[in-house]
Amino acid sequence: MKPENLAYPYGVPVISGLIKSRPEDFEVIEHLDFEPSEQGEHLFLLVEKTGLTTPQLIEIIARQHALHPRQIGYSGLKDRNALTRQWLSLHLPGRELPEKPRDGEGYRVLRAHRHYSKLRHGTHKSNFFRVTLRQVAGLEEVTREQLQALATRGMANYFGPQRFGREQDNVEQALKQLGNARLKRSRRGILLSSLRSYLFNQVLSRRISLGHWDQPLDGDVFMLRGSHSIFSEPLDQSLRQRFSMMDIASTASLYGSGESRLAGEALQIEQRILAEHEEVTACLDRQAVRRQMRALRVALDTFDYEHDPVAKTMRLQVSLPAGSYLTSLLAHFIAVSEPAQEAFRYRQNQPSDGPSR
State the catalytic residues.
79
Average pLDDT over every residue of 147-168: 94
Query: Rounded to 5 degrees, what are φ and ψ at 213?
Result: -85, -45
Place 166 in a pLDDT band, splitting at 50, 70 and 90: confident
* pLDDT value of residue 132: 97
Average pLDDT over every residue of 50-72: 94
> What residue spans define the domains of the chain?
15-23+127-149+300-348, 34-122, 155-298
DSSP, collapsed to helix, strand or coil, labels residue 117 as coil
Average pLDDT over every residue of 340-350: 46
Q: Give the model confidence (pLDDT) of 88-128 as tens digits.
A: 999 999 888 776 778 999 999 999 999 999 999 888 999 99
- Average model confidence (pLDDT) across the chain: 90
Note the CATH architecture for domain 15-23+127-149+300-348. 2-Layer Sandwich (3.30)
**What is the percent of the chain with per-residue pLDDT over 70, rounded to a whole number?**
93
- Between 3.40.50.300, 3.30.2340.10, 3.40.50.720, 3.40.395.10, what CATH number should domain 155-298 receive? 3.30.2340.10
- The answer to whether residue 153 scores a pLDDT higher than 50 is yes
Q: Give the model confidence (pLDDT) of 244-258 as tens digits.
A: 999 999 999 999 998
Encode 55-90: b = buried (16+ Cβ within 10 Å), e = exposed. Answer: eebbebbbeeeebeeebbbbbbebbbbbbbbbbbbb
* pLDDT value of residue 340: 66
The topology (CATH level 3) of 34-122 is Pseudouridine synthase (3.30.2350)
Which ranges constitute the DSSP H helices of 11-140?
Answer: 54-64
Q: Give the model confidence (pLDDT) of 182-217 as tens digits.
A: 888 888 989 999 999 999 999 999 999 999 888 899
Spatial distance between the Cα atoms of 129 and 38, rounded to a whole number of angstroms? 28
Give the chain's length.
Answer: 357
- The answer to whether residue 268 scores a pLDDT higher than 90 is yes
* pLDDT value of residue 221: 97
Q: Are 356 and 83 within 8 A, CB to CB?
A: yes
- What are the CA-CA distances from residue 327 to residues 10, 69, 152 (Å)? 16, 29, 19
Strand (E) or helix (H) holding 341: helix 341-348
- Which of the residue ranges 55-69, 278-292, 343-357 would you say has the lowest mean pLDDT? 343-357
Average pLDDT over every residue of 71-84: 93
In DSSP terms, 132 is beta-bridged to: 315
* pLDDT value of residue 184: 86
* pLDDT value of residue 183: 86
User: Is 155-298 in the same CATH topology as 15-23+127-149+300-348?
Assistant: no
- The answer to whether residue 42 scores a pLDDT higher than 90 is yes
